[in-house]
Amino acid sequence: MKNLRLKAARAALDMSQQELAEKVGVSRQTVNAIESGDYNPTVRLCIAICRALGKTLDELFWE
């Protein structure tokens, strides 16, 4: 399932996939795969993404 909340949070900060990837230590392709729903990130990566975007796990990953 696509993660539109992650994409929207990133876009709200005017941050590219590449910029987010660099902040959390993964490739741009990994960020794209997470947003597309093709990759299920580890909890550690989820937390790093949340910190980079100033969001909580609930806001970005939990339904």
CATH number of the domain bearing residue 35: 1.10.260.40
How do residues 4-43 score in pLDDT, each as one tens digit? 999 999 999 999 999 999 999 999 999 999 999 999 999 9
- pLDDT recorded at residue 11: 97
List the domain range (segments joined by +) for residue 42: 4-60
pLDDT of residue 6: 96
Q: How many domains does the chain have?
A: 1
pLDDT digits (tens, 9 = 90+) for 46-57: 999 999 999 999
Residue 48 CA to residue 7 CA, distance in Å, equals 15
Which pLDDT band, with edges at 50, 70 and 90, does 63 fall under? Answer: confident
CA distance 63 to 59: 8
